[in-house]
Structure 1
Amino acid sequence: MVAGISSFWWFWDSSRVESMETTSGFQMKFRTAGDHIEVYQNQKWQPFFVKGVNLGASLPGHYPGELPIKKEDYLRWFAMIDEMGANVIRVYTIHPPEFYEALVAYNRQKEGDPLYLMQGIWSPEEMLIEKKDAYLPQIREEFRHEIQDAVGAVYGDITIPERQGKASGKYRANAGPYLIGWHTGTEWDPVMVQNTNKLHAKSASYQGEHFQTTGKSTAFEAWLAEMVDTVAKEESKQGWQHPMTFTNWVTTDPLSHPGEPIYQEDLVSVDPTHIQPASWDAGYFASYHVYPYYPDFFRYDPALQQVKNGEGEIDTYKAYLRQLKAYHKDLPILVTEFGVPASWGTAHLGNLGRDQGGHTEKEQGEINAELMREIGEEGYAGGIVFAWQDEWFKKTWNTMRFELPEDRRSFWINVLTNESLFGILGMYPNKDGVLNMDGDRSDWDKMQPEEKKKLNVTVPGYEEIWMAHDEGYVYLMAQLEHSFDPQKEVLYLGFDTTPGGNRHAKQLGGVTLDEGLETLITLGKDEESDIRIASNYDFHARLYGKAYGMIPTKDQELRDDSGVFNPWKLAVGLEMEPPDSKKYYPMEEVEVGKLLRGTTNPADANYNSLAAWQVKDKVVEIRVPWMLLGFTDPSSLTVMSYQGEGKTFKTATTKGIRVLPWIGDRAKPDSTSLSKTTAPFHVTQLPAYTWPTWEQVRYHERMKQSYSILQKTYREIQPSILQK
């Protein structure tokens, strides 16, 4: 309970924030009460439901440690976030001084309620995972120092010296009055937690000035209580108190998940109820990152199959939220990360189609809105969607082995990497919205000559072919000799990027090539339009088939010029068997090479963010993600090679992309437009599409379709939901 009852207007630089003063002399704007959060407003405490967004620290072409975001970026984004209906911005770590300056400046000039800040404090994550002992003096000291810097940065009361990969500078803007709470630490590695508990079993208690453990705490929870107490001590020096929490996720939640197949995902608990305030009037709450597709028990655990949503469907996400809320009883609980990405690639499958990827922007918005509504319906204190902006540098488990060199990820956007595309604000490569895949060649005709190249390819059926590229795709436009009818014919585009590949294939209609093709695009009926990869070049099959033995492979398909083009696939679940899992689970994969026909024009009512091609009369347009053509880094002209044994791959520098187009006649399946040429057909004599390497990226930002969908939900959810 709050000790004092007096209130006053707190002034700073003509800004005013209403707060309450406790009898001990601290200012409070937010506090926890029962199972919710309250804000002091109009001289009384009122329910506050968090409708937030997580904000990253990177821009395309940069890593977060480069701190590229400018004050004008923050100001522009704050206005967009505010307009979306969000009331809280969460950051994971200390941002540059410009961030706090922008937040204060934005809130000073806006009418109505301000945008509030939830400040994260980054733990020594890599060291914790490596050393597996949170009590090491080096780890504790580094974390304490980070806490001191974070508090100083928020209150504009510190000068942080330059450090590699860290924010620095003079912090003079006091954003403390706009703070809603402190979010300490990062997602905890379960092996590290278990080892810390084992090594320090006798240190399972902490009695601090402001926070303490209960009698049920573990050694790691005691360490966490100490860190949260350290935050409280540092903030109390500023004369303020704000609600406290620490980062947690489903992997280390306090619940038991007998349906989880992987032992490590239910190995150990980090229990927020084992920490409590000793003397902290602003209170304490629990927070979790909760996604609907990870860990796997969201699909497999029978205990989550009992709850239905408003549509009458089994909803394991809703069931989990209900279980987690019941465990925490009177403690407020927030979902501080949730969401799905609008990406071409997928990394995990989820119940009700809530997969980690494979969604259009519209689907992303609909799913995120559903999740937010369920968070509110289940009595949570709020939700914070992940994330505000796309982050090109991100990696994910099923594509990271194929992105080489790995330190150049930020120079291109791999749309197969779902982690890069969680943003509500899209960060698009430079030709997105310029070259629209809509069957209209006028945008090609308007493009500057240096931005495109005409290919001098003489193949029956094609009048001309143009190519272009950007940081995300290779683009092609073909003018045919006649209108394309997918019911009668099939368009083929073969790509050669490095020596090797298929010189013959059934799709070639008996024609033999002098150089092989790595990938082959088929455009026809909706169900058959796709891009395939030569079977001996197929790095998905080479890794999970030849190296790991998780999928079947045929010796003849691993030979040069096998004549087979495999569907382009991504792994979404590895083969699991005891003792690593509780029972056997087969390998899971999804076909990612399907090419959707549609329009990529964002101004069109039929816009589809995952569309790949469109045809109108004689004009065919297509865009192809770089990785589907075998590129591991287009910015340095690097492609996957045919070399490499085991679990590692070798790369090569390409001399360019050669494109071989032809047309198949459905009435004569053994004959193609190439059949009219002499054999073997000389691919090596085709012109190569080339480009210079790049070190700078061009991109533009645009609100995704998901923005307006989520906006509607954010505006509908009001604090009154807490009073039901």
Structure 2
Amino acid sequence: MKRFIISISAIILLVFIGFIAVFYGGFYVDSGRDNHVNTFVRTENKEILIKDKDKWKPFEVRGIDMGSGIPGEWSTDYAITKETYLRWFQLIQEAGANTLRVYSVQNPSFYNAFYEYNSQHEEPLYLLQGIWVNDYIQNSRVDAYADSFAGKLLDNCLVTVDVIHGKRLIINNDADTSTGLYLHDISKWVLGYIIGNGWEDTTVAYTDEKYPDMEPYKGTYLTASKDASAFESLLAETGDRMLYYESTRYDEQRLISFSSGNATDPFDYPKEIAEYFRKCARIDAEHITATDKFISGQFVSYSASPYDQDYLSCMEYTTWNSLSDKKIDFSDCITPDGKRNTYRAYLRLLNEHHTMPVLAVEFGAATGRGEIQENQVTSRGLGYYSEKEQGKILVDCYEDIMAAGLSGGCVYSWQDEWFKHTWNTMYAVDLSRNIYWEDAQTNDQHFGLLAFDCGEKESVCYVDGDTSEWTDKDMVIQYEDGSFISVKYDASDVYLYLHKKGFDLENDTLYVPVDTTPKTGSTRMENCTAEFERPTDFVLILNGKDNTRLLVQDRYNPIHANYEEDITGEDSYIDPPARDSAVFENICMVLRDVIGQYQDAATPLRTFESGKLHYGNGNPSASDYDSRADFICNGDDVEIRIPWQLLNFSDPSRMQIHDDYYDGNYGIEAVGIKEMFIGLGREGNTIEMGRLKLKGWENTVSYHERLKEAYQVLKTYWTGKEHE
């Protein structure tokens, strides 16, 4: 018996060691049969071809990018469930998409769901599998040949190959991948790999400068040309070793691409444009060539959205051809009224430059209230679009992509992601907590076709003029004349319900003072005869559909504390406004002015009045739904939504607001509050204010999914089917 137990134990130990060696260590015996490699996808000239039975057919990539974030979870938590993925895959395919793109190895639930979904559908979804090096490594003080960069990149490539073939155990992810046991072989639906996700241009430039005379890499499957830079040689070597691994371990190949974008495109721009955009690096996939042993082929993937560095907008139309060694026809990039479609022109330049298929793997438009920049040329800026406008921009972009000769593209993105941040709002919020609330002011959170609306099944309030969701317990203060104000809030907005008998929105003016911080505020406002019971930080003025706005006391205006010198050239800290200043100002966001600042470096930052409220119906089920709606009037009743950040909340989940910018601080520090005060009145009166108790929700977020109107617009375009 003892000998039997020892034998069984030895067998179990050997099986365990073998399992770890194969699934964790990547051990395999080289078959030596790379001349028997199979592939179901290959390139031919500028086309991607997929094998359908015994025939090769052209394949147009209609893709959607999918991130890994959901409310209440960081993207690196990889918390999305298999059931959610299955539901999403169905919706994505119903929209007419045939391809998914992910940026890194997802959790096992993704691949399990992908396998199950495709196994049950005659027409599968295909996958473009991304591989990346995390931002920390890319921004470290090393060149790309450091082991922490090149070694980690290659490791990620080999791990990814094992994952899609269902033979991998990942224990430690270093923020590059998820973890878990991957057992499903989905390789027959994987079109290819995209190595990298927006290379840091300074790392590319540093590597190339450090190794100017590096001998080009010569490999079995990929080789670097004599014109290749050091970074391009590294990419060739990485791809070659990845191809060797998949060819010899799994007897398979698929497409490979090295990611790029505007910051690392292959063009040599005029000096003044390169300097203005700080264009310091180039990656040219033409410098990486395939040998006869690479039977699948390469494609080029560009992150190319109309709001990215728009070099062509700063160049005369007649000079665009100077970027190419070919004579390119840009006639369809100029409208009859003389407007330039620089997006289509740029895509055409990319396509004409390359001898292989080109994909625009990331193009999008953001909904939400925030904005980063306007595009005076294409009218496709960055933010503050309705959901219908978002859909139209996506369709317009895709039409440009195909008109430019590309092989397709991927819409960015499938779902909104609350963890994202934007340069012109990140100073105002606690970035360690932004997964617990939806910031309507941060445009990067709202690129998705799928929204996450607060509330388990429905929102606590829809700004639609129907006040049936309001109860007496929501009332903050009621006045002798019967008017009152009620307040609700959730993880995205503060909602107000105002009742004023006989109120005429276009001819009357109502004032709603809001007191949040005890440190500053005024009981009066310049050019207004109304007074406030308490020192007030914000005043909402209702004065018509097109003239209703939220104002902030100048002392508590964050744009002064953070961007005053960029806007006016003055330093607000030298002579700050008084604590009880009666000056109330528009609430604004700073914007990039690409063309203006190119033409004159001294051009101040432009601003966008974010505190101006948009009139409309904010109920998604309404026929006249307007996703940008902030307020609506129905007789004597007004419903309003105010995003938390407009009220200077840095983390509403813990009821943290901005502290006084000038009282021992230099910039934004947070302070907690447990109440705020709000009132309602007209000019010539002292407005009494009621107390609203505040309680954060900490890490518990309830939400429900909702397909945006853009989803239906894109679906109609891709499938030809109207809303069903």
- TM-score bin (small chain): 0.7 to 0.9
Which residue is 2:516 aligned to? 497
- Alignment partner of 1:428 out of 430, 453, 461: 453
1:180 partnered with 2:194: no
For residues 348-497 of structure 1, the aligned pairs below 5 Å read 348-350=373-375, 351-404=377-430, 406-430=431-455, 433-445=459-471, 453-458=474-479, 463-480=483-500, 482-497=501-516
* Aligned with 1:617 (options 635, 649, 666): 635
The answer to whether the 8 A contact 1:216-1:274 is kept is: yes
1:559-638 to 2 correspondences below 5 Å: 559-573=578-592, 583-638=601-656
- TM-score normalised by structure 2 residue count: 0.88
- SS of 2:378 mapped into structure 1: helix
Rounded Cα–Cα distance in structure 2 between residues aligned with 1:298 and 1:561: 49
Secondary structure in structure 2 of the residue aligned to 1:702 = strand
- What does residue 152 of structure 1 align with? 162
For residue 322 of structure 1, the aligned residue among 345, 348, 352 is 348
For the Cα contact (< 8 Å) 1:124–1:143, is it kept in 2?
no
**1:625–1:269 CA distance, 2 compared to 1 (3 A):** same
Q: Which residue of 2 aligns with 1:7?
A: none
Q: Please give the alpha-carbon distance, in whole angstroms, between the structure 1 residues aligned to 2:615 and 2:641.
A: 11
Question: Which residue, out of 690, 693, 698, partners 1:689?
Answer: 693
Correspondence for 2:672: 653
Q: Which amino acid aligns with 1:470?
A: D
User: How far off is 1:211 after superposition?
Assistant: 0.8
SS in 2 for 1:571: strand
Give, in angstroms, the shift of residue 119 of structure 1. 0.3
Residue 280 (str. 1) matches residue 294 (str. 2): yes
The one-letter code sitting in structure 2 at the alignment partner of 1:286 is V
CA deviations over 1:477-522 (Å, ceiling 9, x no partner): 1222x132123211221111102122210364152x4532221211
Query: Is 1:521 equivalent to 2:546 in the alignment?
Result: no
Query: Is this contact kept in 2: 1:190–1:265, CA < 8 A?
Result: no
Residues 107-145 of structure 1: CA distance to partner in whole angstroms, max 9, x if unpaired?
Answer: 11113x210010001124321222241011222221121
Does the Cα contact within 8 Å between 1:424 and 1:707 map onto a contact in 2? yes
TM-superposed deviation, 1:556: 7.7
Provide closer, same or farther for how the CA distance between residues 269 and 163 of structure 1 changes in structure 2, counting only shifts above 3 A: closer
Q: 2: CA distance between counterparts of 1:348 and 1:78?
A: 33
- Partner amino acid for 1:136? A
Between the aligned partners of 1:557 and 1:596, the Cα distance in structure 2 is 31
Relative to structure 2, which stretch is displaced further, 65-74 or 516-525?
A: 516-525
* 2:277 and 2:309 in contact (8 A); partners too: no
Does residue 74 of structure 1 match 2:85?
Answer: yes
- Residue 59 of structure 1 is aligned with which of 66, 70, 88? 70
Aligned length: 669
What residue is the counterpart of 1:137 in the other structure?
147
- CA contact 1:541–1:551 (8 Å) conserved in 2: no
Residue type at the aligned position of 1:363: E
What one-letter code is carried by the residue in structure 1 that aligns with 2:266? P
Amino acid at match of 1:649: I
**1:425-478 deviation digits (Å, cap 9, x = unpaired):** 111122865521111111224xxx8xx6321343x6552222111110001112
Q: Is the 8 A contact 1:518 1:630 kept in 2?
A: no
SS of the residue corresponding to residue 543 of structure 1 reads helix
Q: Which amino acid counterpart does residue 690 of structure 1 have in structure 2?
A: L
Amino acid in the other structure paired with 1:626: W
Which string of whole-angstrom CA distances, capped at 9 and with x for unpartnered residues, describes residues 524-578 of structure 1? Answer: 2122111121111110122111588547969887222221221111111279999
Return the letter of the residue paired with 1:198: E
1:35 aligns with 2:46: yes
Q: Deviations over 1:297-342 (max 9, x none)?
A: 35433248865558534211111111111111x2110000001111
- Does the Cα contact within 8 Å between 2:649 and 2:658 map onto a contact in 1? yes
Distance in 1, matches of 2:568 and 2:594, equals 9
Does residue 1:702 correspond to 2:706, yes or no?
Answer: yes
After TM superposition, the runs of 4+ consecutive aligned structure 1 residues lying more than 6 A away are 551-557, 574-578
Which residue number corresponds to residue 294 of structure 1?
308
Give yes or no for the alignment of 1:253 onto 2:265.
yes
C-alpha separation between the residues in 2 aligned to 1:609 and 1:646? 37
C-alpha distance in 1 between matches for 2:166 and 2:445: 32
Cα distance 1:230–1:715, how it changes in 2: closer, same or farther (>3 A)?
farther
**Secondary structure of 1:106's match?**
helix
Distance in 2, Cα, partners of 1:543 & 1:576:
23
- CA separation of 1:332/1:148 partners in 2, compared to 1, >3 Å: closer, same or farther? same
Higher mean Cα deviation, 86-95 or 516-525?
516-525
Structure 1, 616-625 or 499-508: larger mean CA deviation:
499-508
Q: Supply the AA of the counterpart residue of 2:289.
A: Q
In the alignment, the residues of structure 2 paired with residue 335 and residue 395 of structure 1 have an alpha-carbon distance, to the nearest angstrom, of 23
Matched letter for residue 257 of structure 1: Y
When residues 622 and 434 of structure 1 are mapped into structure 2, their CA distance, relative to the original with a 3 A threshold, is same
Q: 2: CA distance between counterparts of 1:32 and 1:162?
A: 35
**Residues 77-88 of structure 1 correspond to what in structure 2 (within 5 A)?**
77-88=88-99
Which stretch of the first structure deviates more once superposed, 596-605 or 300-309? 300-309
For each residue in 1:570-617, what CA deviation from the matched residue of structure 2 results, as whole angstroms up to 9, or x when unmatched? 111279999x99844331221111111111111111101110011111
Deviation at 1:178, TM superposition (A): 0.4
Structure 2 regions of 5+ residues with no counterpart? 1-32, 321-329
Separation (CA, whole Å) in 2 of partners of 1:647 and 1:231: 50
RMSD, aligned CA = 2.6
Instruction: Give yes or no for contact 2:65–2:410 (8 Å, CA) kept in 1.
Output: yes
2:284 counterpart of 1:271:
yes
Task: Flag the 1:581–1:485 CA change in 2: closer, same or farther, 3 A.
Answer: closer
Deviations 1:700-722 (A, max 9, x none): 111100001111222369xxxxx
- TM-score normalized by the length of structure 1: 0.88
Query: Offset of 1:657 from its aligned partner?
Result: 2.0
> What secondary structure sits across from 1:206 in the alignment?
coil
SS of 2:374's partner is: coil
Say if 1:213 and 1:557 are closer, same or farther in 2 by CA, change over 3 A: same
The code of the aligned residue for 1:341 comes to A
CA distance in 2, matches of 1:200, 1:79: 48
Q: CA deviation at 1:38?
A: 0.6
Instruction: Quote the offset at 1:283 in angstroms.
Output: 0.3
Asked if 1:227 is matched to 2:238, the reply is yes
Residues 649 and 692 (structure 1), Cα distance of their counterparts in 2 relative to 1, 3 Å cut: closer
The CA distance in 2 between the partners of 1:556 and 1:216, in whole Å, is 57
Superposed displacement of residue 41, structure 1: 0.9
* Cα distance change of structure 1 residues 354 and 311 upon mapping to structure 2, 3 Å threshold: same
Distance in structure 2 (CA, Å) of the matches to 1:441 and 1:344: 24
Correspondence for 2:252: 240
Shift in alpha-carbon separation, 1:256–1:589, aligned structure 2, 3 A: farther
Percentage identity across paired residues of the two chains: 29
- Please give the alpha-carbon distance, in whole angstroms, between the structure 2 residues aligned to 1:584 and 1:272: 37
8 Å CA contact 1:307–1:316 kept in 2: the answer is no
Where 2:653 maps in the other structure, the secondary structure is helix
1:298–1:310 Cα change, 3 Å: closer
CA deviation digits over 1:320-375, x for unaligned, max 9? 111111111x2110000001111210112223321110100000000011001110
Residues 624-665 of structure 1: CA distance to partner in whole angstroms, max 9, x if unpaired?
10000110110011101113578631121122221121134x
Matching residue's letter, 1:382: G
Partners of 1:597 and 1:255 lie apart in 2 by: 45
Contact 2:208 2:231 in 1 (8 A): yes
Cα 1:381–1:191 change in 2 (3 A) is: same
